[in-house]
Each structure stands twice: as structure tokens, then as C-alpha cells.
Amino acid sequence: MSNPFWSPALAGLEPYVPGEQPRGRKLIKLNTNENPYPPSPRIREALADPALVQALRRYPDPESADLCAAIATQYGVESDQVFVGNGSDEVLAHSFYSFFRHDEPLLFPDITYSFYPVYCQLYGIDYRTPALRDDFSIAVEDYAGPAAGAILPNPNAPSGRCLSLDEIEKLLQLQPERVVAIDEAYIAFSGERGGDSAISLIDRYPNLLVIQTLSKSHALAGLRLGFALGQKHLIEGLNRTKNSFNSYPIDSVAQRLAVAAIGDGGHLAESCNRVVATRERVAAALAELDFEVVPSRANFLLASPGTMDAEALYLALRERDILVRHFNKPRLAGYLRISIGTDEEMDQLLAAVREIQTAQGTSQTR
Ligand SMILES: Cc1ncc(COP(=O)(O)O)c(C=O)c1O
């Protein structure tokens, strides 16, 4: 695509395409890993405060100091070890610019969050993509050698598979001179108490940057709030980039609401536990329906529908107003990524799959 007014760099860009956000039609939406449950009730209370409207007259705090302090308290770090951005996508973009522009290639898995190659393209970063093993797990030993650094989601997306903290430490030791960013967008769904976040390693590894988001775990995808934690020098680096791009990325309403949500650990645990329980139930039910289900520690399942064609199933579900994600990409084309909705939504999904299997004669009665 081109246009005489566009710079050559713009003409060469291939932007990221987010999952569909349908307008108008009421669908069961299991395609963008949103949380099916409402955010903390403290959000509603904070929204009712008239001071919030008053605050809109002025620019927001460019440093989001209250919010950084709240995140620091919650995660056991200092305020100057916290960087906040407009969704973790913005935190990721600034991280790519700040840490990964070197002569060597950046490393990330061949199957992972598809925004990573887009940032590389935007900032002219060369990259190499070590292949996941056949079971979709990451082989950390592949991340050795000269590199601009490494980034990977843990749990990975769209596989849902998780690395242990030992494996993450190994990765950090393989690249001691470069930043290793662990994108923990889904970590809250990974274990009983929020899983094995790499945050506990920050004190010992000056090259570790941990990135999280309120979008999935806190049910606040619409608020656009992500953050990074790391040693002070990395946070300073991110602030240099942010202050060369947009001084006020977090509006006053988002700052205020995020403070309210961050403090409600009880609500977070309850909502994530519900999602995890549903995930386990649905994984077992899909296996019963002859799906091959990748073991997931996130709020979605990657599953291959046995003898059925994955794209045909995606379309048949869509006809029944159920939206899941199909990636037409090598190694993924035979799978669907299914976000975990409410129990009722997931029961409707399972019923629709059974109906489609019966109509196509593909079910194997057990
Ligand atoms: C692995 C991963 N990282 C980051 C993001 C971005 O999240 P947000 O910008 O909503 O914080 C996503 C969203 O789907 C994701 O899957």
C-alpha cells in the first residue's frame, strides 16, 4: 500500500491487527482474552467522586506518582522501580525502543504475541525467532549468543504455556549484558496466588524487566493501563523514551481508577480463581470432544479440534454468534484460541461444538 504523502518507512509498515471488537451484534466474545467478570467495585466508587470531573480541567500528573506508589506497595518494590504506560502495548513499544536497538538481533519465540515483530519493524530492529518445541514449550537454551536482548510472554500467548522461575533465571544468565523482558500479561491466571512472577528476581538481575497489565487480570482492558517493574536504571531509561514521546500518557481518570483497582487484591484473586476453575473444566470437556488442548496457565486455551478443520469450526461458531480466534499462520492454523468466558458462555460454546460435530459427523461417541 502506498500514497504520495506517505514516507517510505510508513508505506513499508505492516500494522498489528487486533482481535475483532464487534459492534452492534451481540456475540459471545471469546477472542481477545478479556476478563468476563466486572472490575473491582472500588472502580464504581472512584468514578462517583466529583473531584474526578474537577481534575479534568488540568493536565494529569505526568509522573503518575500516586499510581506508581500504589503499584510499588502492591508488588513490594520502590516507586522508582515502576513505569506506567497506556496499556502494556505502550510499555512494550517504549521497551523495544529503549533496550532492543542494537546491532545484534532481538530474540523472541517463533510463536508468540504478534505485536513483537511489528515493534521491530517500526523501530528497525532485526530479530531472530527460536522455534518452540513441538509441544509449544520454550527451549531457553536457544536464547544464548550475541543478541539485542530477549522478550517473551510468560505464560506465552497464544499457547498458554509457562516457564518456571528457574528457566527464567537461566535466560537472564544467558544474556547478562542485555535486557530480558518478561511480558506477564497473563501471570495472574498462572497459579494459586498469581503464579511465579519474575518480580521476585528483580533485585538480583539488573537486566530483568517485568511487564504487566490491568487489562486481563483486573478486567480493565478499556482503561488502558500497563506497567513495567525493574531496577531503577531500566525505569529511568523508559522514562527518557516516554518523555520524548508523550508527557501525559495516563489521563487523570485512568490514574485514579487504576489506584483503586490495584489496592483490591481480594477482588483480583477471586475473579482470577473463577477464570482458572472454568479453564480447567473447559479444557477437560474439550479433550472429551477429541480436541488436543495445550496445557494453559493463562485465561485462554489453544486447542486443535481433532479431525475437524479449525478454520471451518471458527466460521461455524461465528455463525452461531460465538467468536473465538483463528490464526492463519504456520503451526497455528490447525488450532483455535478460546478465551475463557463465564461458565454459562463456555457451556454455550461446548454445546455449539457438539452440535457442529454432530452435523458434520465428526464426533466419536465415548
Ligand atoms: C502477551 C501480551 N502482552 C501484552 C498485551 C497487551 O495488553 P494491553 O495493551 O491491553 O495491556 C497482550 C494483549 O493481548 C498480550 O497478549
Cβ(108) to ligand 1 under 6 A?
no
Note whether 224 and 285 are same-domain residues: no
**Total of domains in the chain:** 2
| DSSP3 helix / strand / coil % (the chain, rounded to 5) | 40, 10, 45
Q: According to the model, what pLDDT value does residue 17 have?
A: 87
The last residue of a domain, from among 217, 248, 264 = 264
Note whether 199 and 324 are same-domain residues: no
Show Cβ contacts of residue 124 under 8 Å, excluding neighbours closer than 6 positions: 101
Cβ(226) to ligand 1 under 6 A?
yes
Note whether 212 and 295 are same-domain residues: no
Q: Does residue 364 fall inside a structural domain?
A: no
Note whether 29 and 82 are same-domain residues: no
Q: According to the model, what pLDDT value does residue 1 have?
A: 67
Note whether 45 and 86 are same-domain residues: yes
Q: C-alpha cell of 74?
A: 502492591
The last residue of a domain, from among 201, 235, 264 = 264
CATH number of the domain where residue 23 is located: 3.90.1150.10
Cα angle 230-118-10, degrees, rounded to a multiple of 5: 125
Q: Does residue 49 fall inside a structural domain?
A: yes
Residue nearest to atom 7 of ligand 1 (CA): 88
Note whether 174 and 309 are same-domain residues: no
Q: According to the model, what pLDDT value does residue 366 have?
A: 42
Q: Which atom of ligand 1 is nearest to the CA of 158?
A: 16
Note whether 188 and 305 are same-domain residues: no
Are 59 and 248 contacting, i.e. CB atoms less than 8 angstroms apart? Answer: yes
Q: According to the model, what pLDDT value does residue 351 have?
A: 98
Domain that holds residue 199: 41-264
Note whether 27 and 74 are same-domain residues: no
DSSP letter at 325 equals B
Q: According to the model, what pLDDT value does residue 360 have?
A: 86
Cβ(324) to ligand 1 under 6 A?
no
Cβ(34) to ligand 1 under 6 A?
no
Q: Does residue 245 fall inside a structural domain?
A: yes
pLDDT tens digits for range 46-84: 999 999 999 999 999 999 999 999 999 999 999 999 999
Q: C-alpha cell of 170?
A: 537461566
Q: Does residue 336 fall inside a structural domain?
A: yes
For residue 187, report the distance from its CA to the centre of ligand 1, in Å: 12
pLDDT tens digits for range 186-201: 999 998 544 589 999 9
For residue 14, report the distance from its CA to the centre of ligand 1, in Å: 18
Note whether 180 and 110 are same-domain residues: yes
Q: Does residue 144 fall inside a structural domain?
A: yes
Q: Which atom of ligand 1 is nearest to the CA of 226?
A: 11
Q: Does residue 366 fall inside a structural domain?
A: no
Q: According to the model, what pLDDT value does residue 334 have?
A: 97
Q: According to the model, what pLDDT value does residue 21 have?
A: 82
Q: Does residue 3 fall inside a structural domain?
A: no
Residue with cell 518456571: 164
CATH number of the domain where residue 111 is located: 3.40.640.10
Note whether 210 and 103 are same-domain residues: yes
Note whether 48 and 27 are same-domain residues: no
Cβ(299) to ligand 1 under 6 A?
no
Q: According to the model, what pLDDT value does residue 363 have?
A: 55
Note whether 30 and 82 are same-domain residues: no
Q: Does residue 127 fall inside a structural domain?
A: yes
- Can you tell me the distance from the alpha carbon of 231 to that of 209, in angstroms, rounded to the nearest whole number? 8
Cβ(33) to ligand 1 under 6 A?
yes
Cβ(184) to ligand 1 under 6 A?
no
The last residue of a domain, from among 229, 264, 299 = 264
Residue spans of the chain under pLDDT 70: 1, 192-195, 362-366
Q: According to the model, what pLDDT value does residue 54 have?
A: 93
